[in-house]
Each structure stands twice: as C-alpha cells, then as structure tokens.
Amino acid sequence: MARTLILTISGPEIAFDEVEAKLDKAKDWLRYAPGSWLIHTNRSADIWYSRISDVVAAKGTLVLICEANLDERAGRLSPAAWKWMKNIRNQTHLVAS
C-alpha cells in the first residue's frame, strides 16, 4: 500500500541531485525545503535508507526517514507543496476506498 515518507538529510556536502536520482524510484516525491523531501512510495523507510545510504555516507551526516500522516498537517510551505500533499492524500484515500 502506498504511503508518504518524510526524508530529512543534514550534513556536509549533500549532493541533492544524487539523492533525487535515487528518489526517482518512488511513485512521486517533492523537495519542500533544502535537505527535506516527501516521498510517495510503496516501500518502507528501511528500504529507502538502503537506497540512499551510499549518497549520505559522509561522516557527520544525519538522516531521518519516517512515515508522514497527510491527514494531520499544519505549517508554512509553498502553495505547490500544499497542493502536492493534497493530491497525494486524495490518491491514497481513493485507493483505500
């Protein structure tokens, strides 16, 4: 079943283009801030960590991947990010119905 994960990476010299090349394996993804992505996927956080681990292997790099609940959300993001989340949420709810 499809889910949305949050990926946050912080550390020295992160190659965002390399991370995003890995994210292209997802159903969809969105970088909503530097070092922060939402990933729409059928895969687990563990699988995604395995996929990006070579890109984030530098000492001192911090990585968090966890499931996001798009039914419960608040904050300040670009209109495009809110639209992306609404579309993904609607897709997920249509499939579950």
Looking at residue 29, which CATH number applies to its domain?
3.30.70
Q: Name the stretches of the chain with pLDDT < 50.
A: 96-97
Give me the domain span that covers residue 50: 3-96
- pLDDT given for residue 82 in this prediction: 94
Nearest-angstrom CA–CA distance, 11 and 62: 6
Q: Residue 26's CB: how many other CB atoms inside 10 A?
A: 20
- pLDDT given for residue 94 in this prediction: 56
- pLDDT given for residue 14 in this prediction: 83
* β-strand partners of 6: 38, 66
Enclosing H/E stretch for 37: strand 36-41
Residue closest to 52 by CA, chosen among 25, 30, 27, 31: 25
Q: Are 79 and 32 in contact (CB under 8 A)?
A: no
Give the total number of structural domains in the chain.
Answer: 1
- pLDDT given for residue 95 in this prediction: 55
- pLDDT given for residue 68 in this prediction: 95
Amino acid letter for position 55: V
